[in-house]
Amino acid sequence: MDVLSDVLATVRLSSGVHICPKLSAPWGVSFPEQADRAVYYLLSRGSCYLEVEGAASPVTLVGGDLAMIPHGAAHVIRDRPETPTIPIEQLLREGCPSTARAVQHGGGGETSALVSGYFKFENRTAGRLLAALPQVIHITSELAQSVPWLEGSVRFLSSEATSNQPGAEVVMARLSDVLFIQMLRAFIAQEEREGRTCEKHAGMLRALVDPDISKALAYMHQQPDHPWTVAELARGVGMSRTGFAVRFKERAGISPLDYLTSWRMQKAGDLLRMGEESVDEVALRVGYESGAAFSKAFKRQMGSPPGAFRRSTATAST
């Protein structure tokens, strides 16, 4: 499994479509901060403006465009910059339902069709994955065409959003999972094309697009139980120990061994959730010969001892 797939499996991505408005000008909706999720919009028809708190300027969306707000910042979306907005809570309370997941809103003028959804993550690894992302990502329909299957996924999601076919909700949720990965790919491709390579912030994505650092990450992900040292990782990627340590910290925003510890604890958390192995067995799987040393490290990273973590996640899933 590649590093990005491994990370996404461990952060336990969940997603779905929570509103699919049918809009007619003039229209405008405001959304509060949603810190526990990334929000996305797919404009399948029409045009609109997306204004995100913390972003330098509004983003203009046209039919076929995608936008993601990775950190769930408060935002406004409307047909024209001057159009007044109503809170999303009011729209959901007063909108005219046309299906279980759709509402109608606006003044009866030119129409737009907008699919909105979310990506939600269950643990801290997501923070590093999203750290290198800006307040808003805009993927034009032209860029979507350059990423394999992204344009097709967008069309399929738009179709399912207006479908009354059995299983449409499940299909949209699964498509949303795929959409998140493809939007990350599109963002990385866009950054590389424009010569930025995610360089504004240190984080997982910036580390992943660096060939040497990505190779070191792969070593740690493939063998979390191995007693890795900085020197051994540096040799594996053909760098000096000091040069590797400096570059890893610059790209990932964390030292190699701190990353290794964090990854081991996230992996351990995943194993504890599954509940098939004892704490001592999990400790060995992630490189700790002593259950006591593992428990101490786990509590420091995850906020609770392994046993309590297992019980709390088992309770949450029932």
Write down all domains in the chain, each with its CATH number in brackets: 3-193 (2.60.120.280), 210-316 (1.10.10.60)
Provide block-wise average pLDDT over 10 residues at a time, the chain (318 residues).
69 67 90 89 91 93 91 95 92 60 78 85 63 84 74 71 71 74 78 61 71 91 94 96 94 90 89 88 94 93 90 66
pLDDT of residue 200: 53
13 within 8 A of 120, measured Cβ to Cβ: yes
Q: What is the rounded CA–CA span in Å between residue 251 and residue 3?
A: 15
pLDDT of residue 19: 67
How buried is residue 108: exposed, middle or buried, by Cβ count under 10 Å (0-12/13-18/19+)?
exposed
Q: What is the rounded CA–CA span in Å between residue 272 and residue 97?
A: 42
pTM: 0.71
